[in-house]
Amino acid sequence: MKFGVVIFPGSNCDHDTYHVISKVIGQPVDFIWHKETDVDRFDAIILPGGFSYGDYLRSGAIARFSPVMKSVVEFANDGGFVLGICNGFQILCESGLLPGALLRNRDLKFICEHVNVRVEQTNTIFTAAYQPGQVLSLPIAHGEGNYFCDEATLAELETEGRVMFRYSAADGQITDEANPNGSLRNIAGICNRQRNVLGLMPHPERAAESMLGCKDGRAMFLSMADALVQLLKARA
């Protein structure tokens, strides 16, 4: 089993993610430079948060043309596990692996704070270790986290159960006050139809150890590792 963490010029959560995978959940992991095209050695790929080059045009708009992204798209279409966090979520939307777009925050300000996020679905390899309706405390740090899509896409996401996370109050209530960036229907994370690609704005890698004050994000990486173990056993 091996995880890969993509590095784009400007990434700033790549080492955080690497640390969580290698030291916290104890799994093999390598960095993938954005100009690499060979990802065959990986079983799961993570696009970390940060600021990829070209974000001044639109977040992820240029990074999606990096050589590695063609390989990541092929990897995902072949069933590989892909997780995009914050800027990674933006890149997944720009590359067409996830629908919709991330717009400027409602108040046009960068937001860096802990928020509550309710788990909507647990039938993916990313969320299987959580409970439906569980409320997580996770940090956000973004200026363009306002998720938007057209009505037809929203209807598909809702009816197909592809909204994975919503911003919520501490008691799990979905309110406008709990929505930090104005996201449509409080959406904080979605998956693709095949449920092997997940994008979310909150940072689970920044909430994976007790010393950070919260470890609600650790289960996401453990869930991925457990799913890979089962997959590799099935292939053996």
Catalytic residues: 86, 203, 205
d(CA 90, CA 92): 5
- Distance separating alpha carbons of residues 125 and 140, to the nearest angstrom: 22
Q: Rounded distance, CA 180 to CA 201, Å? A: 11
Amino acid at position 160, single letter: E
Composition of the chain by helix, strand, coil, percent to 5: 30, 25, 45
Beta strand pairing call for 101-103 and 146-148: antiparallel
Helix ranges (DSSP H) in the chain: 14-19, 67-77, 87-94, 151-159, 218-235
Kindly give, in sequence order, each residue whose CB lies less than 8 Å from that of residue 68, ignoring residues fewer than 6 positions away: 6, 32, 33, 34, 35, 36, 37, 39
DSSP 184: G
Give the closest residue to 78 by CA, choosing from 47, 43, 48.
Answer: 43
Q: How many CA atoms lie within 13 A of 66 on its CB side?
A: 27
Q: DSSP 3-state assignment of 153? A: helix
